[in-house]
Amino acid sequence: MSSGPPRLSDNERLVLDLIRRSEPIRRSQLHARTPLTQPSVHRIVDGLVAKRLVAIGPLIAQGPGKPSPELRLDRSHAYSVGVSVNTDAITLCLADVACEPVDQVRIAGRSHERATALEMIATETRRMLDDQGATEQQLVGVCLALPAFFIAPDVMNPSQPLRDWGLIDLRAELSQRFAAPCYLENNATTGAIGESLVGVGRWAPNLVYLSFNYGFGGGVIIDGRPYVGAHGNAMEIGRLFTDDELACRPALGLLLEHLERHGVHVATVQELAERFDPTWDGVDAWVDASLPVLNRAIWAVSAVVDPDAIVFGGEIPDALAQLLIDRVEPHATQHYRYGRRIPVPALVRSEVPGVGAALGAALVPLKAQLLP
């Protein structure tokens, strides 16, 4: 791929995704799973091989007729980078064409100064590619994810700790450092994308992802696809609450302040994830104070989206996520009629904890460039 990311037709995307989901798969099996003719499938596979996205394996004989070759993804020639910027760290994830992470790096404490952080992101991206024996020409794209809402297509508005990233054309700044296509997204949405492709989404095609970070946000997946809304701000869940309620939302930054008042010193969200103890003084009181706001969020997304699952994700420790799940009231009222209750979504912990937003960001360019 010396000339940059490959250009794929809709049919090529369809076939590539079928191989990704089912590899190893015989070429003869693809025809039955697509609306395409067998000659078209053969031609498309040959094209994907030429673009070094698919590798042909040995011939497999099964019954009468000619043996059919086994197909797998060629994972060594197309990569994507996702970058999740949080208040106390930046996480980079390098993913291959199979949507699987092949490298990840966390840069602690360097996220507040945008220019310095972007240079480190570019340096680490080149290092990760070099470690795979790859070059920037094999980079399908770069996606930057922030805990922020959009005020224009390429302009985001983050919270105060990340103020330096706000109110500027971030895509233009990213594009100055990378020749590959660049994307911007809210990190709760990229967390939802990661969850949909390699986590809970494997059994729940409709899910709401609650992102517990320094703040509290959300993303939504409908029929396996992210829904971001007209302005990119779908599931900007803080808009549900009054100013007084915002002070009680289940944001991990507020938990750090609450623990400090109870004599438990935890400096960062990352340290919280590493050290969390549900018996700490103040934890139960914080859960009690947060539940009315969290319940409101659960009721709202259940009523509006009706998902298969609501995922407790982001940077929340597993034990804390389970505490909240055990205490949430899934119904505002029971909604019984004729003795039957309305179904409610499953409340579950993330199956890609800690890395979901960065991995999901890495999958954004792959979906945009290569997958349906």
Together in a domain, 118 and 28: no
Sheet holding 346-349, edge to edge: 225-226, 216-222, 207-212, 309-314, 346-349
Q: What is the mean pLDDT of residues 14-43?
A: 90
Q: Residue 169 has what pLDDT?
A: 96
Q: With respect to residue 69, please indicate whether it lies within any of the assigned structural domains.
A: yes
- Flag whether the pTM goes above 0.95: no
Between residues 246 and 333, the one the model is more confident about: 246
Both tokens of residue 267?
Answer: 């400096």
Q: Residue 332 has what pLDDT?
A: 66
Q: Residue 88 has what pLDDT?
A: 84
Q: With respect to residue 2, please indicate whether it lies within any of the assigned structural domains.
A: no
- What is the rounded distance in angstroms from the CA atom of residue 173 to the CA atom of residue 371? 26
Residue 89 has pLDDT above 90, yes or no: no
What range does the domain containing 285 cover? Answer: 200-349
Residue 292 has pLDDT above 80, yes or no: yes
Q: With respect to residue 4, please indicate whether it lies within any of the assigned structural domains.
A: no
Together in a domain, 95 and 159: yes
Q: Percent of the chain beyond pLDDT 90?
A: 75
CATH of the domain at 37: 1.10.10.10
Both tokens of residue 319?
Answer: 């034990």
Q: With respect to residue 254, please indicate whether it lies within any of the assigned structural domains.
A: yes
| CB neighbours of residue 238 within 10 Å | 16
Q: Residue 69 has what pLDDT?
A: 85
What confidence category does residue 342 fall into, taking pLDDT thresholds of 50, 70 and 90? confident
Identify the weakest region by mean pLDDT among 195-199, 249-253, 353-357: 353-357
Q: 17 with 34: CB under 8 angstroms? A: no
Q: What is the mean pLDDT of residues 171-181?
A: 95
CATH of the domain at 363: 3.30.420.40
- What is the rounded distance in angstroms from the CA atom of residue 192 to the CA atom of residue 84? 13
Cα dist. 222→187, 228, 318 in Å? 17, 10, 25
Q: With respect to residue 266, please indicate whether it lies within any of the assigned structural domains.
A: yes
| CB neighbours of residue 106 within 10 Å | 16
Q: With respect to residue 218, please indicate whether it lies within any of the assigned structural domains.
A: yes
Q: Percent of the chain beyond pLDDT 70?
A: 95
Q: With respect to residue 15, please indicate whether it lies within any of the assigned structural domains.
A: yes
Q: Residue 158 has what pLDDT?
A: 92
- What is the rounded distance in angstroms from the CA atom of residue 274 to the CA atom of residue 45? 46
- Residue found under tokens 């250009």: 7
Q: Residue 354 has what pLDDT?
A: 61
Cβ neighbourhood burial of 208 (10 Å; 0-12, 13-18, 19+):
buried
Together in a domain, 124 and 59: no
- What is the rounded distance in angstroms from the CA atom of residue 134 to the CA atom of residue 79? 9
What confidence category does residue 353 fall into, taking pLDDT thresholds of 50, 70 and 90? low
**∠ CA 54-56-60 to the nearest 5 degrees?**
140
Between residues 237 and 354, the one the model is more confident about: 237
Q: With respect to residue 155, please indicate whether it lies within any of the assigned structural domains.
A: yes
Across the chain, what does the average pLDDT equal?
A: 91
Residue 2 has pLDDT above 60, yes or no: no
Q: 210 with 311: CB under 8 angstroms? A: yes
Residue partners of 338: CB distance under 8 A and separation at least 6: none
Q: Residue 4 has what pLDDT?
A: 62
Together in a domain, 123 and 207: no
Annotate 245-267 with b (16+ C-beta within 10 A) or e (fewer). ebebbbbbbbbbebbeeeebebe
Per the structure, the count of domains in the chain is: 3
Residue 22 has pLDDT above 70, yes or no: yes
Together in a domain, 67 and 84: no
Together in a domain, 125 and 26: no
- What is the rounded distance in angstroms from the CA atom of residue 223 to the CA atom of residue 339? 30
Together in a domain, 207 and 311: yes
Q: What is the mean pLDDT of residues 124-144?
A: 95
